[in-house]
Amino acid sequence: MSNQEPLLKVEHLCQYFKAGNFVTKAVDDVSFDIKKGEVFGLVGESGCGKTTTGRSIIKLYNITSGNVIFKGQRISAGTQSYKDAIKAAREEMKTADGARKAELEEFIKAQKEEIKSAQHDNKTVDKKLVTQIQMIFQDPIASLDPRMTVREIISEGLVIQGEKDKKVIDQKVYEMLELVGLVPEHASRYPHEFSGGQRQRIGVARSIIMNPELIIADEPVSALDVSVQAQVINLLNELRERFGLTLLFIAHDLSVVKYFSDRIGVMYFGKMVEMADSDELFAHPLHPYTKSLLSAIPLPDPIYERQRKRITYNPLAEHDYTVDKPSFREVRPGHFVQCNEAEYQKIMAELNGK
């Protein structure tokens, strides 16, 4: 798997939301890739930017900066970083000498070309390629139209793509319903007639019918009871094996993520702070926030629970980034941590001492 070309590549993704003069950096400079057939888990507390990352990848938002590359083609490109670079270069030109001015003019010209290229790619993106990415939404109630029957909900993508044969549509809908553990008779019912777990299965069927290569599962079990959570996770596992699906699995339940994911990325306040193989991350968490998250996992063991110590993460106390700014660094093969030079040396000393 490590030698494969990534199916999805996310490069320096930024998603900012502006309200008046206030800018919210929901996702700030996040990079990762997902290989074909892999499950990549994205974890972090509520509001850290996990869902926004997923929605940006599937083009529900126009990204602010960065690139999203799927199957070797750029499907989303942001331009704000190029505009900021041009603005900074023009400021520097005011005090620069002749030779430096010429360099800056060339730089500005190159950034303008990048903006043109990004705008061109956004306009001419292959829509059929984008439909090979599908999403299972977090809320099984809000994500289904209450005025549409289950048949209409599941077949909507096929109809949009031009399928008009009613028999073909019905056959595919019934096939999908049986695949996710429902029955063909459910096709004529409305979402309010189903339980939460059944609604989520309808959401899974809606995404699978499009024959996607990548599914973004946005906390697909967080709104469900524990017993139903297990059923939906097992269903996703079966579908993954049957269709060779690749998944971006977004969750904040670390126990579920460990069971289900090959690699895990940890997000905090819009930034990726650590990324590693699932076993490696749980065995050797290196970022203080990851350690804090893992310390919060309860175990059904009263003796362990009595001794378990919660680690509190306070970024102001843990890091001093006033002078030495952090970057995403590889500390072990495939294990990345957000740290500055001083923290990097400390981590390397800790790893070499083990």
Instruction: Please state, as a whole number, how many other Cβ atoms lie within 10 Å of the Cβ of residue 119.
Output: 12
CB atoms within 10 A of CB 11: 16
Do residues 236 and 155 make contact, with C-beta atoms less than 8 angstroms apart?
no
The answer to whether residue 122 sits within a structural domain is yes
Residue 222 has pLDDT above 80, yes or no: no
- Has residue 269 been placed in a domain? no
Residue 100 resides in a domain: yes
pLDDT digits (tens, 9 = 90+) for 242-298: 888 999 999 877 878 888 899 999 999 999 999 999 999 999 999 999 999 888 888
Q: Is the pTM of this model over 0.85?
A: yes
108 within domain boundaries: yes
Residue 103: give the domain boundaries: 79-131
In terms of DSSP bridges, do strands 65-70 and 8-19 run parallel, antiparallel, or are they unpaired? antiparallel
pLDDT of residue 190: 93
- Provide the pLDDT confidence category of residue 77 given band limits of 50, 70 and 90: very high
User: By three-state DSSP, how is residue 21 classified?
Assistant: coil
| Residue 21 scores a pLDDT above 60 | yes
More confidently predicted of 255 and 77? 77
Q: In angstroms, what CA-CA distances link 98 with 94, 103, 112? A: 11, 9, 21
Overall number of domains in the chain: 1
pLDDT confidence bin for 2, thresholds 50/70/90: very low
Q: Quick check: is 88 in a domain?
A: yes
Question: Is 316's pLDDT higher than 60?
Answer: yes
Band (pLDDT 50/70/90 cuts) for residue 60 is very high
pLDDT attached to residue 305 = 82
Could you tell me which residues come within 8 angstroms of residue 95 by beta carbon, excluding any fewer than 6 positions away? none
Residue 92 placed within a domain: yes
CA distances in angstroms from 308 to 71, 253, 312, listed in the order given: 44, 18, 13
Do 280 and 334 form a contact (C-beta atoms < 8 A)?
Answer: yes
Residue 245 domain-assigned (yes or no): no
- Give the least confident one: 92-96, 253-257, 293-297, 340-344: 253-257
Give domain status of residue 321, yes or no: no
Across all residues in the chain, what is the average pLDDT?
89
Question: Can you give the pLDDT at residue 122?
Answer: 92
Q: What is the pLDDT of residues 104-154, one digit of tens each?
A: 999 999 999 999 999 999 999 988 899 999 999 888 888 899 999 999 999
Cα dihedral 68/74/78/81 (nearest 10): 90
pLDDT digit string (tens) for 153-193?
Answer: 999 988 888 888 899 999 999 999 988 888 999 999 999 99
Amino acid at 115: I
- Which residues, 6 or more positions from 273, have their beta carbon under 8 angstroms from its beta carbon? 266, 267, 287, 289, 290, 337, 338
Looking at residue 171, its pLDDT comes to 93
